[in-house]
Chains A and B, each alone.
Chain A
């Protein structure tokens, strides 16, 4: 059971200073009352109010104790170390020895409980937040949960260690020209994990149209529908084919940049049809040789191969073979 120190700070001074001290004392006592009932968030608010009016290592110690009780280990560590620092600057007179001993024990415990994530960030210049807050640097260590909510800041390097409280966190990586990466993960107490974070480049938008209706569009070999189509694709190179029966297929290669919007207009040209399949040609031939060469014409007819009726293949222009 945590026990907050109930050391009443006595201040000297007159008038407004005494008033402030009284208010600080009242807030301190309020905080200790909440602490006894394990109402740690209320206690924290009261101790912070007291510290603002009258800073003291004991008050800071109690704030750290509340933060530890609330599971905010990264904050608690910073606060407890600050309490030791305050005490040292005051000539080691403000904190009792047993409180210092307790604190050292808590700091060891916190070290065992916090999680460490090795983040690998690609690209390195991307901005990063954890739970909507930018990272803080404590000495040589990067820590989450210490700063107020705000926009992300560039990651310190391509790979670095980040200290987090155990529990659920949302890590967001962003950079202009790329889609955000949001990783939601629960970190166990004392865990050591790797978290790769790689941004995907913003997709490009491709709009494909044609002057011919019902033309089929293939992008990268996949059927994506009939014109007009609007697609989103990762940046890169793609082969685009637009085809329709009776027309010469339109083929092109496009190179898409991140966030680019590109419109392709596929102009389809009719296929040239052989004269030999035109009905009026054979009618004209028959008329010319009729009468004088009817017999020869009949022999020629019997030796000709009949013209096949073209296959339908349906709207998908697919004739699959039966087996």
Chain B
């Protein structure tokens, strides 16, 4: 027995010791919603000076349970290394061509301090000014085995990507773990590869990169960003149904990707590039403002009148005496009249982001192209008021009259929240000035309630109209620019107010 005990003691004392292979484990989580806002993770590895890009992987992480994701970096044989790791979380399909590192800084509050727009320039200046395309030289390139160029042809679109840089030290005889969270507050803030700066948790703020972990919670944070910023409508008192069609709908706030690349408009009217937007809750008119509602306001002292039908334009709906168009949307108004009307009614015009949120995303699990909740639709004259112009698009003429229809015409153009005619009938003025999504004001705009709100300059309407093609009713489509002083028979308004 003693022999066995001695043997056991020697055995234990002299048993072979396991050899530690060095490894740095990287654990990556996100607080954005999966898969709605992010469902892919791009990992790029560089040497310590970021002069050599030597590895890249792009993996699908389509379910909340796929996060956190983890991978490891191993050191050279019996050595150590410092590795620069770039992590980008984004949604599938939201990519752009790779043409080299095209870092663009998010502007701070002094966003008009440029040669063309001075610090004290009116905001409308920032709606016009488009910063030049960032110079690119095609670098860096990814080489496998230092000889074969395997650079990915695309990269995540920065505006809708969380982009994080960190430094990892790995050594042959130690195992480490670095845990970090790719935070929604950093979406749209590009990491500065050459400047070694990154956003960690504060929008538009770049800090020097580090090699430390973020505070790591016990469980994944997926979805917590939206849960934190989304707000529900409070118990606001809403206007009830009335013959004036002035009832209201409360629209919950939320987070969504504004814009889209399926639209066919170009230049300033394009709804591209996309960007994230956080929307606060608001109260929106259920219907477009009607002739009857405007007439009622005038009867109570509102001093402005639309152009009267028959004087210069037979498609204007407002008549000197009540007639057959009282339930039609008011049109032939200039922007200032629309703005004044909403203010007279205790509200204001909706912003472009609020309008698109209501038209594409509010009240549904993920955004859709058309306000009634569809993504793809074949043109159908029974859906919405469109194609009723012999001059522009006459596909739906015949049994239908030229011009507008009643705001409560039963045609299926109703959003999941019950908001009517966001698709067709008349386009609707918004508060924003007309500006390219590449304009300074959009690039500098924060995540919360972004926009190019400005008086003066060219104006903007959203939504399709009675004379346009069916596809104009898609909420991610054209953003036509309008002269602020012009009156259009296919443009009207609806108002919003805070809850």
Contact = CB atoms under 8 A, between A and B. Distances in A.
A309 B21 contact: yes
Nearest to A295: B10
A255 interface: no
A283 B68 CA distance: 38
A13 interface: no
Interface in A118-145: 131-132
Interface string A305-323: 0111101111110111111
B390 A319 contact: no
B18 A320 contact: no
Contacts of B390: 40-41, 44, 70
A319 B3 contact: no
Nearest to B314: A39
Contacts of A319: 23, 71-74
A149 interface: yes
A78 interface: no
Contacts of B21: 308-309, 311
B75 interface: yes
Contacts of A44: 390
Interface in A216-240: 222-226, 229
Contacts of B83: 320, 322-323
B15 A301 contact: yes
A277 B3 CA distance: 27
A6 interface: no
Contacts of B264: 184
Contact of A323 (B15, B52, B58): B52
A318 B391 contact: no
Nearest to B379: A132
A321 B4 contact: no
Nearest to A290: B7
Nearest to A313: B72
A225 B34 CA distance: 13
Contacts of A283: 11
B391 A315 contact: no
Contacts of A291: 3-4, 6-7
Contacts of B62: 225, 229
Given A314-B69, A323-B54, A71 B391 contact: yes
B170 interface: yes
A70 B314 CA distance: 16
A301 to B, nearest CB: 5
A237 B406 CA distance: 54
A223 B57 contact: yes
Given A309-B19, A322-B76, A316 B7 contact: no
Nearest to B79: A322
Interface string B57-87: 1111111001011111111100011110000
B61 A318 contact: no
A314 B3 contact: no
A170 B27 CA distance: 49
A313 B18 contact: no
A222 B43 CA distance: 14
Contacts of A313: 71-72
Contact of B395 (A132, A229, A294): A132
A320 B74 contact: yes
B3 A290 contact: yes
A312 B72 contact: yes
Contact of B391 (A70, A170, A311, A322): A70
A287 interface: yes
A5 to B, nearest CB: 22
Contacts of B8: 287, 290
B168 to A, nearest CB: 8
A40 B75 CA distance: 80
Contacts of B402: 41
B55 interface: yes
A250 interface: no
A286 interface: yes
* Interface of A, helix, strand, loop or mixed by DSSP: mixed
B7 A287 contact: yes
Interface string B239-282: 00000000000000000000000001000000000000000000
Contacts of A41: 390-391, 402
Interface string A190-233: 00000000000000000000000000000000111110010000
Given A294-B6, A316-B70, A320-B72, A286 B391 contact: no
B23 A311 contact: yes
Given A70-B391, A131-B395, A306-B19, A290 B10 contact: yes
Given A308-B21, A312-B25, A226 B75 contact: no
A274 interface: no
A322 B19 contact: no
* Residue from A131, A290, A314 with most neighbouring chain B CB atoms (10 Å): A314
Given A322-B74, A323-B47, A225 B20 contact: no
B26 interface: yes
A225 B69 CA distance: 11
A200 to B, nearest CB: 15
A263 interface: no
A187 interface: no
A270 B57 CA distance: 26
B243 to A, nearest CB: 31
A318 B54 contact: no
Contacts of A322: 24, 73-76, 80-83, 168, 170
A63 B288 CA distance: 37
A294 B8 CA distance: 10
B59 A223 contact: yes
A298 B9 CA distance: 12
B69 A316 contact: yes
A178 interface: no
B17 A306 contact: yes
Contacts of A229: 60, 62
A77 to B, nearest CB: 18
Contacts of A294: 6-7, 10
Interface string B348-384: 0000000000000000000000000000000100000
A306 B66 CA distance: 35
A323 B76 contact: yes
Contact of B63 (A226, A282, A314, A315): A226
Given A168-B469, A184-B471, A307-B18, A312 B23 contact: yes
A290 B71 contact: no
B11 A286 contact: yes
B180 to A, nearest CB: 13
Contact of A223 (B4, B16, B58): B58
B14 interface: yes
Given A168-B469, A322-B83, A315 B20 contact: no
Nearest to B469: A170
6 cross-chain pairs, A with B, having the tightest CB-CB distances, nearest first: A290-B7, A314-B70, A322-B81, A225-B60, A41-B390, A291-B3
11 contacts: A225-B61, A290-B6, A291-B7, A301-B14, A308-B20, A313-B71, A314-B70, A316-B69, A318-B71, A321-B76, A322-B74
Given A315-B71, A323-B76, 10 more contacts: A41-B391, A70-B390, A225-B63, A226-B63, A290-B11, A291-B3, A306-B17, A306-B18, A320-B73, A323-B83
